[in-house]
Structure 1
Amino acid sequence: MVETKGHAPPLPSMSIHNDQAIRLRAEVPVELGGQRLDQVAAQLFAEHSRSRLAAWIKDGRLTVDGAALRPRDIVHGGALLELDAEQQAQGEWIAQAIELDIVHEDEQILVLNKPAGLVVHPAAGHADGTLLNALLHHVPGLVNVPRAGIVHRLDKDTTGLMVVAKTLQAQTRLVEQLQKRSVSRIYEAIVVGVITAGATIDAPIGRHGQQRQRMAVVEGGKPAVSHYRVLERFRAHTHARIKLETGRTHQIRVHMAHVGYSLVGDPVYGGRFRIPPAASPTLVQALREFPRQALHARFLELDHPASGERLKWEAPLPDDFVWLLTLLRQDNEAFV
C-alpha cells in the first residue's frame, strides 16, 4: 500500500454514467503545484494506475484547464484537471467459481474472511485460482475496477478480513483512508518466545539485500509501524495482538522476527524451532507441523465509502489456530 507524507490531496469529484464511462475533475492543490502532470494525476486520481493515466494524458483524455499537455509538463496549483475516458477491462483474468466467506456486502463494498491457502492476486506461479478470480465470478462488474477492487492484501497463508471496493468511487475513498491510516486492521498471532510486555515497532521495511523474494528491516526502506501487545503467555510461546499503522509487504512477519518473536509456522521468516521442555507428543507434533504462519486478520474497522458510517467487523479465529492455542493452554496447565 502506498503511504503519503503531509496532507492528502483532496478527493476528486466523480460521476460515472455507466460501467465504462469515467468523468473526473480535480483542482490541483497548492502543495502539488510545480510537479509533472503525470505525478499530480497519480495523486489526485489514485484509483487508476500510473500507466493508464499516462496513456490518457497522451490521448488527450486527461486535460489541464481544457488543454492537452504531455505527461512531463509542469502543472501549477489551482489548475483544473479533467478526465473524460472509458474504463477498460483491467487484465486477461478469468472469472472462477471459488467459494467466498462473505461477512458483509452492499453496493459499494464487500468484506470477506479469507481462508489459508488462497492467493489474493494472480502472479507468477498463480495464474488463476486466486481471490481476484473468485471476485470476478461473484461480481462480474469488477473487471472494470482496477485490481478488481482489491485495495489491500493478505499473504497466501494468512487468514482473516479483507475489504474489496465494488466501484471506482468506493476504491478511491478506501485508498484515501488507507493513506490517512484511518483504516484499523488488527491481527492475532502465535509467536515463538515469551513476550514480557507490548511495544511499538517503528522500523523501515524494504527488499532483502541478497534474497529478493524476502523483505527485511533495512535502512532507507519504506516507513513501517506495528503495535503489539500480549493476550496470553505460554511456556515458550505467546498469543499476541498486533495493530498495523502501515501496510508493507509481510510487515507483521518481518517486524516480529526483527524483535525476536517470529511467527509459529512461518516458512520464510521463522526463527529457531522451539518446544517447551517435556511437552506432550501432541503439542510437539502440532508445533512442528503447523502448516502456515500463525497469523489471522481478526478485526477490520473503516468508514463506509458512501455513507461515512464507521463500521467494524470481527472474524473468529480459524480452527487450526484455535487447536494450537488449546494445546498450548493444556501444556501451561500441566506444568503449573
Structure 2
Amino acid sequence: MTAENRITESHTVPPELSDRRLDQVAAELMPGHSRSRLQSWIKSGQLTVNGRACKPRDKVMLDDRLELDAEPEVQVSWQAESIELDVVYEDEHLLVINKPAGLVVHPAAGHADGTLVNALLHYAPEVDKLPRAGIVHRLDKDTSGIMVVARSLIAHTSLVEQLQDRTMGREYEAVMVGTITGGGTVDAPIGRHPRDRKKMAVVKAGKPAVTHYRLVERFAAHTHVRCQLESGRTHQIRVHMAHIKHPLVGDPLYGGRMRLPPGTTDELRDVLAAFQRQALHARRLTLEHPATGEVLSWETDLPADFTGLLAALRAHREALEQDAL
C-alpha cells in the first residue's frame, strides 16, 4: 500500500491532556476514529508515542508526540443501500449533503440499516476504505441540515484537523423555550450525565465546550436564535441551551414537558404538540478545501416543519399584539 493511501496523523499532547491514558488522549486528539479502532492501532504499534509503541493504559505527558500511520480497513459489516441523498456539493474529495430530520448517521444497535452510512456506501462506494465511512462530524438523528463527508484520505485528514483547530465554521438555527434580550456565550464542559447514560450534561470533569448564540427573532414565549460552535461535543447546543434554562422546542431528552405560553391559541398548541424533534437545523458550513485550499461555504434552507413552527409562533405574537391594542 502506497504512503498516500495510508491514514497518517501527528499530534502534540497539550497541557490539558497531560498525564492521562494514551487511549483517552488519542480519542480526544483524533475524534474522526472510533475508540476501538484507536486501541487496536495502539496495540498493533501503528499509533506510537515519540516513535515508541505503548499500551493503551500508558500515561502520556505534555508535548509527547502521537503519530498514527495505519492501513484503512474496509467496513465490511455495513451494507450499501439505495437511499436518496440531498447532495449540495460534491467532487473527488468532498460530499456535502443536506440531512433530513429522522435519518440516523451511523449504524448502531437498533439502527443496523437505513442510515446515512448505508446511503453513502451506495452513492460513493470509495468511502468504505475511510474511517467511519468518511464521516468526521455528525448530526443527531432528529437534527436537520448540512454536513460534510470525506471521500479521500487527504480530505479526511484535513477535515479532522480543521475540526480540531476550530477553523471549520458551523452555524445552526434553533428555537428555544423562553425569551432572551440578546445573544451570549455558553462556556461549560460537557460529559456523560452522571445518572442517565443516554444523556449528556454540563459536568466539571467534562470536555471543554463553547457555544455562541445570538438573537434572530423573539416571540411571546420563545426565541429564534443562531448558534455557532467552537467545539463539537455530543448534543452540545441542546445541552448548553437547557443549561441556561432555555431548552430547545420539541427536545425529547432535554426539553422536559411541553410548556404553553399564556394565551396560546389552538393553532399554536397543535403546532407545538406536533413538533416531535428538537428545533435545530445546521444552516451553514464553511471550510477550507483539502486539496485546493480554497475557502468554501454552503447554506441550506430551513425545512418545512421548522418554517411552519416559526410561522405559528409569529402568528401567535401578532395576535397578542392585536389584542393589546
Fold match (TM-score > 0.5): yes
Structure 2 match to 1:226:
211
Alpha carbons 1:194, 1:233 under 8 Å: kept: yes
Instruction: State the 1:63 CA deviation.
Output: 8.4
Structure 1 match to 2:6:
22
Secondary structure of 1:112's counterpart equals strand
Structure 2 match to 1:308:
293
Query: Equivalent residues in 2 for 1:91-240 (5 A)?
Result: 91-240=76-225
Instruction: State the 1:277 CA deviation.
Output: 2.4
1:274 to 254, 259, 266: 259
Instruction: State the 1:239 CA deviation.
Output: 0.7
Q: CA RMSD in A?
A: 3.3
Alpha carbons 1:121, 1:132 under 8 Å: kept: yes
Secondary structure of 1:312's counterpart equals strand
The letter of the residue matching 1:313 is W
Structure 2 match to 1:9:
none
Provide the C-alpha distance between the structure 2 equivalents of 1:35 and 1:284, rounded to a whole number of angstroms. Answer: 50
Provide the C-alpha distance between the structure 2 equivalents of 1:230 and 1:15, rounded to a whole number of angstroms. Answer: 48
Provide the C-alpha distance between the structure 1 equivalents of 2:247 and 2:19, rounded to a whole number of angstroms. Answer: 45
Structure 2 match to 1:264:
249
In the superposition, relative to structure 1, how do residues 79 and 93 fare at CA in structure 2: closer, same or farther (>3 Å)?
closer
Compute the TM-score of the two structures, normalised by the length of structure 1: 0.82
Secondary structure of 2:307's counterpart equals helix
Provide the C-alpha distance between the structure 1 equivalents of 2:66 and 2:235, rounded to a whole number of angstroms. Answer: 39
Query: Equivalent residues in 2 for 1:28-107 (5 A)?
Result: 52=37, 55=40, 69=53, 71=55, 83=69, 86-107=71-92
Larger Rg: 1
Alpha carbons 2:191, 2:207 under 8 Å: kept: yes
Q: Write the deviation string for residues 284-313 of structure 1: whole angstroms up to 9, x where unpaired.
A: 110122121110001111111111111111
Can you give the 5+ residue segments of structure 1 that lack an aligned partner in the other structure? 1-13
Instruction: Say whether residues 1:326 and 2:296 are aligned partners.
Output: no
Instruction: State the 1:242 CA deviation.
Output: 0.8
Q: Write the deviation string for residues 188-223 of structure 1: whole angstroms up to 9, x where unpaired.
A: 111110111111000111111111101111111111
Alpha carbons 1:228, 1:241 under 8 Å: kept: yes
Alpha carbons 1:257, 1:271 under 8 Å: kept: no
Compute the TM-score of the two structures, normalised by the length of structure 2: 0.85
Alpha carbons 2:101, 2:142 under 8 Å: kept: yes
Provide the C-alpha distance between the structure 2 equivalents of 1:318 and 1:202, rounded to a whole number of angstroms. Answer: 29
The letter of the residue matching 1:276 is P
In the superposition, relative to structure 1, how do residues 42 and 169 fare at CA in structure 2: closer, same or farther (>3 Å)?
farther
Instruction: State the 1:158 CA deviation.
Output: 0.3
Instruction: State the 1:274 CA deviation.
Output: 2.4
Provide the C-alpha distance between the structure 2 equivalents of 1:36 and 1:207, rounded to a whole number of angstroms. Answer: 18
Secondary structure of 1:257's counterpart equals helix
Secondary structure of 1:335's counterpart equals helix
Secondary structure of 1:291's counterpart equals coil
In the superposition, relative to structure 1, how do residues 184 and 281 fare at CA in structure 2: closer, same or farther (>3 Å)?
same
Provide the C-alpha distance between the structure 1 equivalents of 2:136 and 2:68, rounded to a whole number of angstroms. Answer: 24
In the superposition, relative to structure 1, how do residues 172 and 284 fare at CA in structure 2: closer, same or farther (>3 Å)?
same
Instruction: State the 1:47 CA deviation.
Output: 5.8
In the superposition, relative to structure 1, how do residues 288 and 144 fare at CA in structure 2: closer, same or farther (>3 Å)?
same
Alpha carbons 1:236, 1:274 under 8 Å: kept: no
In the superposition, relative to structure 1, how do residues 124 and 323 fare at CA in structure 2: closer, same or farther (>3 Å)?
same
